[in-house]
Amino acid sequence: MVSFHRTHTCGELRESDIQKKVILTGWVHRHRDLGALIFIDLRDRFGITQIVVDPKAFPHVAEFHFEDVIAVEGVVQERKQKNPDLPTGNIELEPQAVTRISKSKVLPFSICDEEKEVNEELRLKYRYLDMRKSKLIENMVVRHKALQVTRQVFSEEEFLEVQTPVLGKSTPEGARDYLVPSRIHPASFYALPQSPQLFKQILMVGGLDRYFQIATCFRDEDLRSDRQPEFTQIDAEMSFATDKELFPIGEKMINAIFKECLQVDIPRPFRKMTYAECMDLYGTDKPDLRFGLEFIHLEDLAGKTSFTIFKDGLELGWKIKGFRIEGGATYSRKEIDGYNRFIQSLEGKGLVWMKLVDGELLSPIAKYIDEEDKALWKERLALKEGDSAFFIAGEEKKTNQLLDHLRRKVARDRGLIEPNRYEALWVVDFPLFAYNDEERRIESEHHPFTSPHLEDLHFLEDEPLRARASSFDLVLNGYEVASGSQRIHDEALQEKIFSLLGLPIDEIEEKFGFFIEALRYGTPPHLGFAFGFDRIMMILCGTENIRDIIAFPKTQKAQDLMTEAPAEVHKEQLREVHLDVKL
């Protein structure tokens, strides 16, 4: 029997190891019985090595199946038919002993065929099998490297890694909390953290000066392809600083991660743009800057036309905006109709198009434009021969949303997005508050602990919606990967913000009394941010599905198909925590 204590991994041996006696262990990746010889591709997470077996010497090898775990002791030989696609492709192992360590059942899906599509629910149910496929293992390796680099960067910048509680108090602001009933305190509950927000601020009150944490957080919210009920964030806070000190640290971390994992340098400092500029140019606060297609205002020119829809819309305060598409005059009428249907599918009224062909401005609205004004349209849209433009008229918020979707679709359709390009952007000066039409009240745009711009403090009395926040997001390739702010360190200002949000004094005391109390004992100015580590991983690994970069993810219904969680518990367990369930 071969020892299962291997001497080398399956991705390690090279021509320099020829004639060396080794022991390899792993899974039977492929098993090809050619009669005179049996070829086994032996796999572990490090790679694959070919084993060439004489069935006369080892007849039991013919009974091996895919994913059996085996150990092979033998001598490394030069491979006769080399495989340039494998790092180990120049050698093979001639066995002296072969042992099956454990046997595998017939697989529910193929592991050796990477290209074959497998139903995702089946993959999640048998996650341990899906994990053996090289892509998921590669993603876990990248995740590991990124975490190591993160800790290194923050340690170099004198941040202390601190673990904050997982069992905390429910202070719902935004998403729903996951609640945990207390056995010792009947009718009382802990909440799993949506973020370590209050704890990290209190660490600054405690004088730690610089803190970071690789934090697991929980939000009971509707899921999307880039959301999970439990997720990982890189959390950091620092005292006596502003974004001038914080931004370079975040940029250093992102750059170090991409350098380590992809050998990519993202130029620093990252670009910076205000929220208002982003919305005006791209219709979103998380623009993908890997391509252009910036929006152009056309209200003044539209007002000079005789087009009734424009005239009536401008009286209602509509915005008329669009973007130029280089070479877009090649669009057929059928393709343009397709984009029009796309806008209508998003509840838009439709789009207007324009082309410059043989020096002539072609458009359904061309007849409404005076001849002398057509040159102004060409100039404003920067139309060159063979270009086109799409534009939309409507209420500002809806127009921005529609153009944002259209811009991204046009970029995808025309191949304008470079897959190996990375563009980072700090978005700053968000509104401090947003108005909730349904509840007819203002609410925090970010969270209630965000400081207003000091020069906007006077707006808090009579025009709070005009106040800007000292908050910021980091956007990478169209994903919001970080969010942060300068925090409120003054007790009176914090209570003022709570009051503007309509929180009664007794509710403030109940939810945040411990935090307000902490602010009364000499709180340093402080700020921080949280990076969505899983979203960064999605970009690193080139996937749009967050489940591809988490070892044991949940479905979009927040279920773990492997363990069948969530699940019912015994009535005795419910009694211990003083609960009864009514369906």
Q: What is the pLDDT of residue 487?
A: 97
- Which letter, b or e, does each residue of 542-577 get, where b requires 16 or more Cβ atoms within 10 Å of its Cβ? ebeebbbbbeebbeeebbbbeeeeeeeeeeeeeeeb
433 and 529 co-located in one domain = yes
Q: What is the pLDDT of residue 174?
A: 65
Mean pLDDT of 4-20: 95
Other Cβ atoms within 10 Å of 520 Cβ, number: 9
Mean pLDDT of 125-142: 93
- What average pLDDT is seen over the chain? 94
Mean pLDDT of 324-339: 96
Residue 173: pLDDT band (50, 70, 90) is low
**Any domain includes 128:** no
**Any domain includes 120:** no
Q: Is the pLDDT of residue 95 over 70?
A: yes
470 and 524 co-located in one domain = yes
**What is the spatial distance between Cα 134 and Cα 139, in angstroms, rounded to a whole number?**
9
**Any domain includes 418:** no
Count: domains in the chain: 3
255 and 311 co-located in one domain = no
Mean pLDDT of 163-181: 88
Backbone angles phi, psi at 536, to 5 degrees: -60, -40
**Nearest in space to 391 (alpha carbons), one of 493, 474, 247, 295:** 295
> What DSSP state is assigned to residue 220?
B
Cα-based angle 364, 370, 372 (whole degrees, multiple of 5): 125
Return the half-sphere exposure (C-beta side, CA atoms, 13 A cut-off) of residue 563: 10
Q: What is the pLDDT of residue 327?
A: 97
For the stretch 424-470, pLDDT in tens is: 999 999 999 998 888 888 889 888 999 999 999 999 999 999 999 99
Is omega for the bond preceding 452 within 30 degrees of 0, making it cis?
A: no
148 and 208 co-located in one domain = yes
**Any domain includes 107:** no
Q: What is the pLDDT of residue 447?
A: 87
Backbone angles phi, psi at 238, to 5 degrees: -145, 150
409 and 463 co-located in one domain = no
Cα 33 to Cα 12, 25, 59, 64: the distances in Å are 25, 20, 11, 10
446 and 550 co-located in one domain = yes
409 and 428 co-located in one domain = no
Mean pLDDT of 386-411: 97
**Any domain includes 123:** no
332 and 382 co-located in one domain = yes
Domain that holds residue 236: 137-274+424-571
CATH code for position 59? 2.40.50.140
243 and 312 co-located in one domain = no
Looking at the chain, the number of H-run helices and the number of E-run strands are: 16, 22
Residue 490: pLDDT band (50, 70, 90) is very high
Residue 573: pLDDT band (50, 70, 90) is very high
Q: What is the pLDDT of residue 172?
A: 64
For the stretch 250-295, pLDDT in tens is: 999 999 999 999 999 999 999 999 999 999 999 999 999 999 999 9
**What is the spatial distance between Cα 313 and Cα 297, in angstroms, rounded to a whole number?**
14
Residues 6+ away with beta carbon under 8 Å from 70: 25, 26, 27, 28, 40, 42, 64, 98, 99, 100, 101
Listing DSSP states for 544-566 in one string gives S-GGGGSSS---TTS-BTTTTBS
Q: Is the pLDDT of residue 121 over 70?
A: yes
CATH code for position 350? 3.30.1360.30
- Last residue within a domain, chosen from 413, 447, 482: 413
241 and 343 co-located in one domain = no
Q: What is the pLDDT of residue 35?
A: 92
Cα 228 to Cα 13, 152, 329, 360: the distances in Å are 40, 27, 42, 52
- Altogether, the residues listed in the chain come to a count of 583
Mean pLDDT of 504-512: 87
315 and 196 co-located in one domain = no
